[in-house]
């Protein structure tokens, strides 16, 4: 069998990946499990909705985003309390309307502390998602694949990147065909002159 694949992108540019389309979530889950078992590490799945078990099949590491948000929240609490307590207790210890100038005044600082904590944690979450997601990447070579553009909202796609140490066009194509993939395509980088 000849492994002449349809080409997406600019054929004069380097090969980015071999892409394949699957019809069902079970098919892409089985493919991801098999690819991991075969030792592939640089592959990505694209699904129209979350597929239960796909992250585990791909053995994706837990994101550090929750730790970043926790760090943002804790630092916000420390910033807010230091901005409120240091001036009240040490710099300008003025008693106004009988309000104490020691730690017993802590409850009156709760609203500002909560507001600053929510704001900094939210900003940390958004910035973390953008940076950990590899953005801002304005273009992905997968977008040059017409079938991917048309079918991303209803089909399941998988791409095995050419930088994977186990990658060879013939073996990857054969493996994807064994797994029941449809529309296996060679995806090349796009030319800088395009678009």
For residue 54, the model assigns a pLDDT of 80
164 CB-side CA count, 13 A: 22
CB 83 within 8 A of CB 109: no
pTM of the model: 0.65
Mean pLDDT, residues 169-183 taken together:
84
Q: Write out pLDDT tens, residues 93-128.
A: 777 777 777 777 778 889 999 999 999 999 999 999
Q: Is pLDDT at 33 greater than 80 in this prediction?
A: yes
pLDDT higher for 151 or 87? 87
Confidence bin at 2 (pLDDT 50/70/90): very low
Domains annotated on the chain, with CATH: 7-62+139-188 (3.30.70), 65-132 (no CATH)
């Amino acid at each position: 069998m000849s492994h002449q694949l349809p080409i997406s992108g600019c054929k004069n540019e380097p090969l980015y990946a071999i892409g394949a389309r699957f019809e069902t979530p079970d098919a892409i889950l089985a493919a991801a499990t098999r690819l991991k078992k075969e030792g592939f590490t640089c592959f990505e799945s694209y699904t129209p909705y979350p597929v239960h078990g796909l992250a585990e099949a791909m053995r994706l590491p837990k994101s550090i985003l929750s730790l970043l948000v926790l760090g943002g929240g804790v630092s916000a609490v420390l910033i807010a309390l230091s901005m409120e307590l240091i001036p009240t207790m040490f710099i300008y210890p003025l008693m106004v309307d009988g309000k104490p100038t020691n730690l017993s005044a802590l409850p009156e600082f709760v609203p500002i502390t909560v507001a600053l904590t929510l704001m900094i944690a939210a900003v940390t979450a958004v910035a973390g998602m953008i940076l950990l997601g590899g953005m801002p990447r304005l273009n992905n070579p997968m977008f040059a694949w017409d079938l991917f553009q048309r079918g991303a909202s209803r089909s399941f796609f998988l791409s095995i990147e050419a930088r994977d140490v186990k990658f060879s066009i013939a073996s990857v194509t054969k493996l994807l065909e064994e797994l029941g993939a449809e529309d296996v395509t060679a995806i090349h980088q796009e030319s800088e002159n395009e678009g």
